[in-house]
Amino acid sequence: MRPDNLNPLFAEITTLPGVGPRLAKLFERLAGPRVIDLCWHLPSGLIDRRYRPSLAEAVPGRIATVKVRVMAHQAPHSPKGPWKVLCTDGTRDIDLVYFRANQDWLRKLLPDGAWCVVSGKLESYNDRLQMNRPDHVVPVDEAESLPAVESVYPLTTGLVARVVQKAVQAAVARAPALPEWHDASILKARKWPDWRSALEAAHHPETEADLLPEMPPRQRLAYDELLANQLALALIRLKQKRAAGRSQKGDGHLVEAALQALPFPLTASQRTAFAEIAADMAEPHRMLRLLQGDVGSGKTVVALLAMLTAVEAGQQAALMAPTEILARQHFNTIAPLATAAGIGIELLTGRDKGAARKRALERLADGRALLAIGTHALFQDDVLFRDLGLAVIDEQHRFGVHQRLQLAAKGKGVDVLVTTATPIPRTLVLTAYGDMEVSRLTEKPAGRQPVDTRTLPLERLSEVVGAVGRAIEQGAKVYWVCPLVEESEAVDLADAEARYGALTERFPGRVALVHGRMKGPEKDRAMKAFAEGPADILVATTVIEVGVDVPAATVMVIEQAERFGLAQLHQLRGRIGRGGGRSTCLLLYRPPLGETAHERLKILRESDDGFRIAEEDLRLRGAGDLLGTQQSGLPRFRLADLAEHADLLPMARDHARLILERDPDLQGDRGAALRTLLYLFERDAAVRYLRSG
Ligand code: ADP
Ligand code: MG
């Protein structure tokens, strides 16, 4: 349970003074729905009001706070002209300028003859000093109430600076003092204040330098966030280790047979990766390993060999894919090999029901089936294994940490292998998986030719259709991808259907359509028609993105390519160029193309290297977004900036490990403080892994 003292932070923002339901919506868009979200909304700038010159020495262009006496009010000369309040400080005059002003309000605010303190930007106009609608006007005896420095926050449409400032500061005021979770020595070495002071200080920068990520208060907050992340991951890992692993050693006979049956030799990378995995499985601890490799690098085969190793060791293995289509594809590849070797194999997807499902469940439970391929359906409660030894999770970025655990929980000491084509940099692997071992496939199978990639404006559609016609006459298979963007799913679908209609008219009987709204069997029929004939063209929304493998496909047309992300385009393009033949990818765009879109498409034309493309993508979109991409499954940080705080991440990892070595269940005072840290950053689930959580 979350400690009570944190509750005010997790209250809705409507509990803040002046934030009603209407503003709450805007704040939610800006930062989030709760008080704590505003606490994490740090200032991006500041306004320094400490410049207090006499008017004679005041420099136009600067923000200044000046003490002045009101001499006269001057009504506008023309209907659109400004109301002016003429003032002086005895050294020089200044005009306070108000467009569309309310007279009565102004006369009350700045009474004739009164001394006031005003603060705002100084300007010079026709040799006169002026201030356009000062930010602050107060009577002299209230001068103390003027902020010396004001924080400037990122805004969103509909929210003005003052409102955000007030709400954020009210939120920060709710922050309680919390017990210290860091060692005194680290606080001293890094000059970190306690948590509450750090939060306060981060929200009240005194100088521009205070806004830098390396300043102690900001650094501490970032470190707290990273530590919570690493501690949560370390707890999950510890829990997995506690459920003791076991050694799975194969004798190699199934692996050997599979290698014989494959129509190609393994690449050097595949051999190395498999050797690493087999060695890890043979160890008595639990394996938690990531198999990373660009699209088309051949991860499936490696995963299959690992699964066969588990079977050789007398255990079962399961492979979980993110989509039905993929699960079926894997099943279709693996089943013949398994059957030839006399190994029972079952397919389990959301679609399999009734008697067939019942039979599959029985065969997994009593061990007649040793391999299971499926989707999320694999971790439903009624799916039991006789003895699950290895769980492979394909294209992991679509699953969360907890789903991984759910599958691993179906056996004792299950080894886990996760495959991904996302070229996640090392640092991000750490944030997403903690200390996970990584095997990398660094090369593509021999004989692959780079895909010839071209960009064309949509006007040249008829040429493209002509070229597609010639290609299929020569036996090519063609993917034709239409974008599917959530906001307008219906419209996009209509696009795909219209394209399907038009192409069918031109090439009757040779076109299939597949999209996410179709029922499973319909999808299968379309995929099958494309993979095995009679369809030569597959019109698809992005459901084909992940992992589909039709080696005969050599042409891909992507419509409105400018609407896709770079990484996504790379993944899509990875569907072709798999066989030996020359492949072509045509990126159709709707002009005019913006500068960034232009650059992105250019990168794709020039490069076929997933890592380089990911890096460029990161550069073009800014660091935040790679993390932010919805599907990436990577954590999103509010306070830590992985580019700026890169050195803090390994430190947090080591620190987390040390903490759990000393106190694996977070007992005692320090332990309690660390639990508070986990709750503060909403790692509640991790706390549950503690024995006395
Ligand atoms: P991904 O890494 O994208 O999941 P796949 O495992 O789907 O890649 O493999 C892509 C294609 O390459 C498949 O058709 C597969 O049969 C083939 N392949 C895998 N390994 C090799 C190899 N060593 N030599 C030739 N082709 C291979
Ligand atoms: Mg794959």
Q: What are phi and psi of 492, to 5 degrees?
A: -60, -40
- Measured by CA distance, the residue closest to atom 26 of ligand 1 is 445
CA of 480 to the centre of ligand 2 (A): 20
Query: What 3-state class would DSSP assign to 327?
Result: helix
CA of 266 to the centre of ligand 1 (A): 9
Query: What 3-state class would DSSP assign to 258?
Result: helix
Closest ligand 1 atom to 266 CA: 23
Q: What is the pLDDT of residues 590-638, one digit of tens each?
A: 888 878 788 888 888 888 887 778 777 766 665 444 433 434 455 678 8
CA of 392 to the centre of ligand 2 (A): 12
Contact 308, 389 (CB under 8 A): no
| Average confidence (pLDDT) over 402-419 | 76
Strand residue runs (E) in 452-558:
452-457, 477-481, 511-514, 537-540, 553-558
Residue 403: pLDDT over 90: no
Contact 266, 396 (CB under 8 A): no
> What is the 3-state composition of the chain as percent helix, strand, coil, each rounded to the nearest 5?
45, 20, 35
Which of 301, 307, 333, 443 most suits a substitution to test ligand 1, by most atoms within 8 Å of the C-beta? 301
Q: Which of 154, 157, 175, 176 is nearest to 165 (CA)?
A: 154
CA of 621 to the centre of ligand 2 (A): 26
Amino acid 693: pLDDT: 42
Q: 452-479 burial by CB neighbour count: b if 16+ within 10 A, else e?
A: ebebbeeeeeeebeebbbebbeeebbbb
From residue 207, alpha-carbon distances to 214, 401, 482, 628 in Å are 14, 41, 50, 30
pLDDT band at 340 (very low <50, low <70, confident <90, very high): confident
- Cα separation, 685 vs 94, in Å, equals 61
Contact 129, 58 (CB under 8 A): yes
CA 193 to chain centre: 30
Q: What is the pLDDT of residues 650-686, one digit of tens each?
A: 899 999 999 999 999 999 899 999 999 999 999 887 8
H-state helical runs in 191-323: 195-203, 216-242, 253-261, 268-282, 299-312
The share of the chain scoring above pLDDT 90, in percent, equals 55
- Cα separation, 474 vs 554, in Å, equals 11
CA of 482 to the centre of ligand 1 (A): 25
Which of 294, 297, 307, 583 most suits a substitution to test ligand 1, by most atoms within 8 Å of the C-beta? 297
Q: Where in the chain is the domain with CATH 2.40.50.140?
A: 50-146
What value does the mean pLDDT of the chain take? 87
Amino acid 624: pLDDT: 43
Q: What is the pLDDT of residues 10-62, one digit of tens each?
A: 999 999 998 999 999 999 999 999 999 999 999 999 999 999 999 999 999 99
Ligand nearest to the CA of 266: 1
Amino acid 628: pLDDT: 37
Instruction: Say if domain 253-441 classifies as CATH 3.40.50.300.
Output: yes
| Average confidence (pLDDT) over 517-536 | 85
* 21-26 long-range contacts, CB within 8 A, separation 24+: 23/159, 23/163, 23/167, 26/156, 26/157, 26/158, 26/159
Beta bridge partners of 14: none
Instruction: Tell me the CB-side half-sphere exposure of residue 447, using CA atoms within 13 A.
Output: 9
Give the relative orientation of helices 426-433 and 648-662 as an angle to the nearest 10 degrees.
30
Residues in the chain: 693
Which of 326, 333, 394, 578 most suits a substitution to test ligand 1, by most atoms within 8 Å of the C-beta? 578
CA of 550 to the centre of ligand 2 (A): 12
Query: What 3-state class would DSSP assign to 292?
Result: strand
Which of 262, 264, 266, 328 most suits a substitution to test ligand 1, by most atoms within 8 Å of the C-beta? 264
pLDDT band at 561 (very low <50, low <70, confident <90, very high): confident
SS (H, E, C) 663-686: CCCCCHHHHHHHHHHHHHCCCHHH
- CATH class belonging to 451-607: alpha beta
Q: Which of 480, 488, 490, 486 is nearest to 514 (CA)?
A: 480
CA 305 to chain centre: 31
Closest ligand 1 atom to 267 CA: 23
Amino acid 641: pLDDT: 84
Ligand nearest to the CA of 549: 1
Q: Where in the chain is the domain with CATH 3.40.50.300?
A: 253-441, 451-607
- Measured by CA distance, the residue closest to atom 15 of ligand 1 is 298
CA 530 to chain centre: 33
Q: What are phi and psi of 194, to 5 degrees?
A: -65, 170
pTM: 0.67
- Measured by CA distance, the residue closest to atom 17 of ligand 1 is 298
- Measured by CA distance, the residue closest to atom 5 of ligand 1 is 298
- Measured by CA distance, the residue closest to atom 12 of ligand 1 is 298
Which helix (H) or strand (E) segment holds residue 388: the answer is strand 388-393
| Average confidence (pLDDT) over 276-284 | 93
Amino acid 636: pLDDT: 74
Cβ-count burial of 340 within 10 angstroms (0-12 exposed, 13-18 middle, 19+ buried)?
exposed
Q: Which of 305, 279, 273 is nearest to 292 (CA)?
A: 273
Residues within 6 Å of ligand 1 by CB: 264, 266-267, 270, 293, 295-301, 421, 445, 547, 549, 551, 578
Amino acid 242: pLDDT: 67
- Measured by CA distance, the residue closest to atom 9 of ligand 1 is 298
- Measured by CA distance, the residue closest to atom 10 of ligand 1 is 296
Tokens of 456: 């064309």
Sheet holding 369-374, edge to edge: 344-348, 369-374, 316-320, 388-393, 415-420, 288-293, 437-441
Amino acid at 378: L
- Give the residue, 157 or 317, on which the prediction is more confident: 317
| Average confidence (pLDDT) over 487-502 | 74
From residue 556, alpha-carbon distances to 26, 209, 611, 671 in Å are 42, 51, 21, 56
- Cα separation, 552 vs 536, in Å, equals 10
Amino acid 686: pLDDT: 80
∠ CA 563-564-567, nearest 5°, is 155
- Cα separation, 572 vs 547, in Å, equals 9
pLDDT band at 333 (very low <50, low <70, confident <90, very high): confident
Which helix (H) or strand (E) segment holds residue 140: the answer is none
CA of 515 to the centre of ligand 2 (A): 19
Cβ-count burial of 591 within 10 angstroms (0-12 exposed, 13-18 middle, 19+ buried)?
exposed
Number of Cβ within a 10 Å radius of residue 183: 13
Q: What is the pLDDT of residues 204-241, one digit of tens each?
A: 999 999 999 999 999 999 999 999 999 998 887 777 66
Which of 272, 300, 420, 550 most suits a substitution to test ligand 1, by most atoms within 8 Å of the C-beta? 300
Ligand nearest to the CA of 333: 1
CA of 604 to the centre of ligand 2 (A): 21
CA of 570 to the centre of ligand 1 (A): 16
Residue with tokens 């001499």: 71
Q: What is the pLDDT of residues 673-683, one digit of tens each?
A: 999 999 999 98
Instruction: Say if domain 50-146 classifies as CATH 2.40.50.140.
Output: yes
Closest ligand 1 atom to 574 CA: 3
- Cα separation, 16 vs 163, in Å, equals 12
Number of Cβ within a 10 Å radius of residue 660: 17
Q: What is the pLDDT of residues 440-459, one digit of tens each?
A: 898 888 777 788 999 999 89
Q: What are phi and psi of 214, to 5 degrees?
A: -90, 0
Q: Rg of the Cα trace of the chain?
A: 32
- Cα separation, 494 vs 228, in Å, equals 45
Q: What is the pLDDT of residues 153-211, one digit of tens each?
A: 999 888 988 899 999 999 999 999 999 999 999 999 999 999 999 999 999 999 999 99
- Cα separation, 538 vs 558, in Å, equals 12
